[in-house]
Amino acid sequence: MEPYKNWSREELIARLQHLDPHHDRPRAATQPQGKPFDFNAYPKRKIALKFTYNGIHYGGMEYQRDPALPTVEGVLFDALVHTRLVDRAGGLEGCGWQRCGRTDKGVSGGGQVVSLWVRSTLGSKATSEEDARATDPEPTSSADTSEDGPGLEGDFGLIDDFDEPPTNNSKPAEPASAEVEFPYVFGLNHILPPTIRVLAWSPVSDDFSARFSCRWRHYKYFFSPRGLDLAAMSDAAARLVGECDFRNLCKIDASKQITIFTRRILSASIDRTDGDLCVFNLRGNAFLYNMVRHIMAILFLVGAGLEKPAIMTALLNADPANPLPPFREGEDPPPLVTSKPDYQIADPLPLMLWDCGYDDGVLDWRTGRASTKTGESTKSPLPGMLCDFERATITAALDEHFLKAAEAHHKPPKQYFPLGAPGVEPLPPGAMMSIPLGGGLVKRTGTYVPLLQRKRMPTPDEVNERYRLGRGAKKLGRKAPAVPAAADDVDE
């Protein structure tokens, strides 16, 4: 066995390069043969792309210069460069890149949307071998189409940071003729790893923005209902609907200096899936940093019987100038909670940005290579996705049988949740509780401190002020004054 733990960083990199079958093979996009590719020789058009991605494989959505893990934007941008749809030299800014939402490390996307300017074949003719290669995806060897993808190189911090309202009702710009367009869906899926799949593209007008034109975002959070009171969770979720102050249900990003934490939730519900899981469906016009995972953490506490549904109303009652009334008749007025209690947020794995909503007529989703819907269809990504689904289903079946094999010799752990529910054992003194955090994770503890009795985190004003006096001042080239002692425990 090689003593890898004693190797230097350079030795480890050299070993990985030696083992990587793709490392020494040149690529047309990064090492072009012949004359340099001239992007100015081709027309451009603005389009929107809708795509899915499995967030467990990525360090988040947002492009980063030196990511610890590949990012979704980084891999997608590399594929766009590889197919010569955008110029790497211009970066994301050069192609007018706008994303509908930024998802955190481990969070997935089912209907993510980006808008950007790309190369178009409309109005141009492939007159040379070089131009022909630019118009269609290049042949790829069997090694490049392995399940690990072609080896492209390439993280929200935020769940979303939509602080500006939607700005336009753009209509898609239709071409004058039905000329054959670049096969955007097939061309990109031919290059992308199977964990990212482009579903469709749409022509859009020049002022369209995937972010600012979006009217709502829909998140889904999947969880097991085992040991949870779904009726109590539904009660707590219903309290989110409307325009509420979510400062106690998000993480404060001091670098953005956000002072308004009001967001409008259009719908919130706890629903059953077709299988054994449940899903928290949340749809709103905008979301704050880690907002969905904070909400889900509270829903788990309510479902476990550790908190009453009214705790959600209390956490939303954060603005002294606009106190909330009781949520329903017979309830006491909610206490004022001006700063967030200390609690652990839910795991990111089960969270998905499911869909993004736009005004009718703004988008015209297409899958083929022709400029009209009646044109040639493209290769569907469904066969590969179905194969991945089948493998995941088999893996889940194996895990279930491993569990059954263990249960033949070991008693399953006692279930104490939801507390006080009929048929559930009462919690004995000194017993350890496994408080759910989502994604199969739990927090083991022998005691539970009610949320409103816990230590309070610094207020948003305190967090913002500390940043202005510290790290923010350094970014502006100013000397930072002394930081007030009251803000010393802020985690930046």
* Per-residue model confidence as pLDDT tens digits over 438-472: 999 999 998 999 999 999 999 999 999 988 888 77
Q: Which residue did the predictor score with more confidence, 181 or 24? A: 181
pLDDT at 477: 63
Cα separation, 478 vs 471, whole angstroms: 10
pLDDT at 256: 87
Residue 196 pLDDT greater than 70, yes or no: yes
Residue 126 pLDDT greater than 50, yes or no: no
Q: Which residue did the predictor score with more confidence, 189 or 477? A: 189
Cα separation, 107 vs 86, whole angstroms: 26
Tell me the catalytic residues.
104
Q: Which CATH class is domain 217-352+415-457?
A: alpha beta
Cα separation, 365 vs 373, whole angstroms: 9
Residue 17 pLDDT greater than 90, yes or no: no
Q: Which residue did the predictor score with more confidence, 27 or 484? A: 27
* ω into 320 cis (within 30 of 0): no
Structure-token match 């954060």, residue found = 318
Q: Does domain 44-126+152-215+358-386 have CATH number 3.30.70.580?
A: yes
Mean pLDDT of the chain: 82
Per-residue pLDDT tens for 101-111? 889 999 999 99
Contacts for 261 with CB less than 8 Å, ≥ 6 apart: 245, 246, 247, 250, 288, 318, 460
Per-residue pLDDT tens for 164-190? 344 555 555 555 544 688 899 999 999
Mean pLDDT on 94-117: 95
Please report, for the chain, the start and end positions of each structural domain, with discontinuous segments joined by +: 44-126+152-215+358-386, 217-352+415-457, 458-492
pLDDT at 175: 52
Q: What is the dihedral of CA 309, 314, 316, 320, to 10 degrees?
A: 160
pTM over 0.75: yes
Cα separation, 204 vs 364, whole angstroms: 8
What single-letter amino acid sits at 127?
T
Cα separation, 83 vs 187, whole angstroms: 7
Same fold, 44-126+152-215+358-386 and 217-352+415-457: yes
Residue 150 pLDDT greater than 50, yes or no: no
